[in-house]
Every structure is written in C-alpha cells, then in structure tokens.
C-alpha cells in the first residue's frame, strides 16, 4: 500500500473503506478516512487517523514514506472514532509520542480511550508547531463537526486540513478532485453538507469569515473524507458559503408515502401544478419495504437547494406513517431553518378516520425551521376531482410563491 504525495514532504496515508453503505443515518458508496504525514527537516507529524480496524492500512501507507517510529507528533483534529480509532494502536507502538489537540478533544479522548500516560498537549487558535521548514498552525473550529474539532494549516504549502469540513463520503481510486471529476466531487460534497453540515451552517459562515480575515493563502484543502481539493479549493469554499446561506433554485421537493395510493394521487396532482408553472421539481416516494423509493439522505440533498418542501402522509392510528415520521425526525435534526434563506412548506394526505397526519407534518416542519404556508390539506379516503384540482392549485401557488422570492 502506497502513500500519495500532495506536496514535497506531505503525503496522504489514509484508508479506503470500500464497503461502508450507511453512516450517520445516510447512504454512501463507501468512504475514506484521510490521514496525512507532514515531514519537516526536524520533525514528522501525523495528522488524524482512521477507524479502528484500519490500523494496518494506515501504517502500511506510512511505511511507504518512512518508518512509523520516525513520527514525532500526532495532531488530532477531531476525536470522532472514524478519525481517532487508530490512535490507541499508535500509542501502543509509540507511547511517548506527543498528541496535539484542543482542550475539548483531550477531555473527549479520555471518554473514548484509556489515555493514561498519553502526552497530550492542548493547543488553542494561533498556536504553531514547527517541524523544520514546515509550520503547522492550529485553528479551533468547535462544532465543525463536534465541540472538539479544529483545523490545521500548513503555511509553507498553503494546505488546510479541516477534518470533516469540505469532506465527502466516497470510496474511489481517486485522491484528488481532478481525478474524480469536479461534478462528482461536488455532488458528494453536497450530500455530505446536506446530511451533516446543515445544522452547523451559521458556524460555517462564521469560520469562513474568520479564515478570510486571516488572509492566509489556501491552495489545497485536504479534508478527512473523500477527495482532496487541489484544483478546486475556491469552488468548494464558495459552495459552502452558498449552501450555508441557503442559496436555492426555483425548485420544489415533494416527499410522501402512501397506504392505498390516495396520497400518491395528491402528490402527483401537486407536482403537475408545480410543473405547470415551469418550476423544477423532485417527487420523492420515501423508501420502505414495498417500493424502491428514495432514501431520506438523498431527499434532504434535494431539499438543500429547494425553496419549498411539501410532505404527504396518510393518517395511520392518528399518526403519520412510520416512514414519514422517520423522515420528519431526520429533517428536524438537520434544522434547515438554520440556513440563512428560509424554505416554505406544508403537509397533505389522505385519512380514513379522524385524520391528524397533516397537522403533525406541519408542526414538524415548523420545528425544522420551515415556514408553513396556508394550503396544506387532508382528504377523506380517495381524493375526488375537486380535491385533485385543489392539490393542483396548491402546486401552482407554491411555485408562484417561490418564484416571487
Ligand atoms: Fe468524520 Fe465527525 O467524523
């Protein structure tokens, strides 16, 4: 197994997890855990690691550059186990190697591992580590992704190691954006942002502003998952700014599940109304045991750049269907209301008894920070022609309203 060179003395020594298909509640085509080796004239630093189980792969890649015993220090940008899982093995092999991390990371590591005897040095924003012709500067980045997170910047080569930020879950032979292709890289980055970063959007904007004010040159962004942005660092920085601001298209995402097809009839009628106004649309049947449907993680990726979200469910035992309940819970957690630009939405559905699903949907949308508009409605059993016309008109009205925003 080989390391991959980013710059003289800077190598990727991570691991490729080809078989991971679900993580943090969303589907993915595998991922990578990126670790980096930075060799100065006096010291060698290892930045981050991989999940437990990938120790041999990381060590083999390091060995293609130098003997692991030559590592003088380890930088832990983030303690989540997909990056720190290999740390106990490194500390078993090299117990005197100092670890550099934030105060919260030090406390967090002790909650994950037996850190007795580990030489942990707490760093703060602006602290530096001189490796000899290569200087690492630390920048605390709390909540990007966890309270312990920080970025590390290698000034001489203008490389930012931001851990989770700007990452993507993709397993590939490609290590760089130009090798994977910018369109594919951006699509994976968008899904990563939609499923992990949305609730952190205000912190992303604050951190981007802070980094901008530092006036540092960033030629390459080397995240802890996926490809390294060596040609398109500017594009991913701009995409994070736009996504955090909630920059959206004139696009509606309709999400629904159905029991006997009545809610499907409503969803399709609303969709026709949206399309009649020339507005882009995604009609997503939630994935369950009966239909292929669309996974919630792909739906929220569509929602990221949609201006409106309509959610449909029949009423089952006075509740929304379990698939819809799961989706709404996921959406509430992501909090799209934290994006600068707010989205609009409403509920719809069919019922046989007392109904109630639509009210629950709209309550959940509000809790997710989506502005609920008038017009959501439920029908008894099968929608008749008048009700289908009402659904069509709802679609038209939503389309016109988002076009006006
Ligand atoms: Fe990739 Fe927050 O860990």
- Per-residue pLDDT tens over the stretch 48-96: 999 999 999 999 999 999 999 999 999 999 999 999 999 999 999 999 9
Burial 150-186 (b: 16+ CB within 10 A, else e): bbbbbebbebbbbbbbbbbbbbbebbbbeebeeeebb
Q: What is the pTM of this model?
A: 0.95
Task: DSSP letter for 294, please.
Answer: B
Residues 35, 4 contacting (CB under 8 angstroms): no
What's the 141 CA to ligand 1 centre distance in angstroms? 13
Is the CB of residue 169 below 6 angstroms from any atom belonging to ligand 1? no
Q: How far is CA 232 from the centre of its chain?
A: 18
Looking at residue 329, its pLDDT comes to 97
- Per-residue pLDDT tens over the stretch 24-46: 888 999 999 999 999 999 999 99
**CA–CA distances in Å: residue 115 to residues 78, 87, 96, 105, 380:** 16, 10, 12, 12, 61
With cut-offs at 50, 70 and 90, classify the pLDDT of residue 338.
very high
Closest CA to 252 of 375, 381, 385: 375
Looking at residue 25, its pLDDT comes to 86
Q: Could you give the percent of the chain with pLDDT greater than 90?
A: 94
CA distance 236 to 242: 10
Is the CB of residue 145 below 6 angstroms from any atom belonging to ligand 1? yes
Tell me: pLDDT of 290 over 80.
no
With cut-offs at 50, 70 and 90, classify the pLDDT of residue 288.
confident
Which helix H or strand E contains 371, and what residues bound it? strand 371-372
Looking at residue 272, its pLDDT comes to 98
Q: What is the mean pLDDT of residues 328-350?
A: 96
Task: DSSP letter for 338, please.
Answer: G
Is the CB of residue 232 below 6 angstroms from any atom belonging to ligand 1? no
Is the CB of residue 277 below 6 angstroms from any atom belonging to ligand 1? no
Looking at residue 287, its pLDDT comes to 85
Which residue, by CA, sits nearest to atom 1 of ligand 1?
164
Looking at residue 353, its pLDDT comes to 86
Rg of the chain in Å (alpha carbons): 24
With cut-offs at 50, 70 and 90, classify the pLDDT of residue 405.
confident
Task: DSSP letter for 194, please.
Answer: I
With cut-offs at 50, 70 and 90, classify the pLDDT of residue 330.
very high
């Amino acid at each position: 197994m080989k390391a991959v060179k980013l710059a003289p003395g800077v190598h990727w020594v991570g691991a490729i997890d080809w078989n991971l298909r679900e993580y943090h509640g969303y589907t993915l085509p595998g991922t990578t855990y990126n670790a980096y080796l930075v060799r100065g004239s006096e010291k060698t630093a290892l930045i981050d690691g991989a999940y437990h189980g990938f120790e041999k792969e990381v060590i083999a890649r390091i060995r293609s550059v130098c003997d692991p015993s030559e590592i003088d220090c380890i930088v832990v940008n983030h303690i989540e186990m997909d990056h720190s899982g290999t740390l106990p093995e490194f500390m078993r092999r090299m117990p005197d190697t100092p670890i550099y991390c934030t105060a919260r990371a030090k406390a967090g590591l002790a909650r994950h591992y037996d850190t007795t005897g580990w030489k942990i040095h707490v760093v703060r924003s602006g602290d530096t580590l001189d490796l000899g012709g290569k200087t690492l500067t630390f920048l605390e980045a709390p909540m990007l992704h966890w309270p312990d997170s920080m970025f590390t910047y290698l000034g001489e080569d203008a490389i930012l190691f931001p851990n989770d930020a700007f990452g993507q879950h993709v397993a590939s032979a490609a290590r760089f954006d130009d090798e994977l292709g910018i369109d594919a890289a951006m699509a994976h980055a968008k899904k990563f942002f939609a499923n992990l970063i949305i609730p952190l959007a205000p912190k992303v904007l604050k951190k981007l502003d802070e980094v901008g004010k530092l006036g540092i040159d960033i030629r390459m962004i080397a995240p802890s998952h996926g490809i390294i942005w060596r040609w398109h660092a500017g594009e991913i920085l701009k995409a994070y700014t736009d996504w955090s601001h909630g920059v959206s298209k004139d696009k509606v995402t309709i999400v629904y599940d159905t029991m006997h097809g009545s809610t499907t009839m409503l969803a399709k009628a609303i969709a026709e109304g949206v399309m009649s106004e020339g507005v882009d649309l995604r009609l997503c049947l939630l994935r369950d045991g009966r239909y292929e449907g669309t996974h919630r993680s792909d739906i929220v990726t569509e929602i990221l750049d949609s201006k409106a979200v309509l959610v449909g469910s029949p009423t089952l035992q006075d509740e929304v269907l379990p698939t819809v309940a799961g989706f709404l819970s996921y959406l509430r957690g992501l909090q799209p209301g934290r994006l600068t630009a707010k989205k609009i939405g409403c509920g719809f559905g069919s019922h046989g008894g007392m109904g109630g699903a639509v009210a629950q949907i709209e309550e959940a949308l509000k809790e997710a920070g989506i502005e609920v508009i008038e017009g959501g409605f439920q029908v008894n059993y099968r929608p008749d022609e008048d009700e289908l016309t009402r659904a069509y008109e709802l679609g038209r009205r939503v389309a016109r309203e988002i076009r006006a925003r």
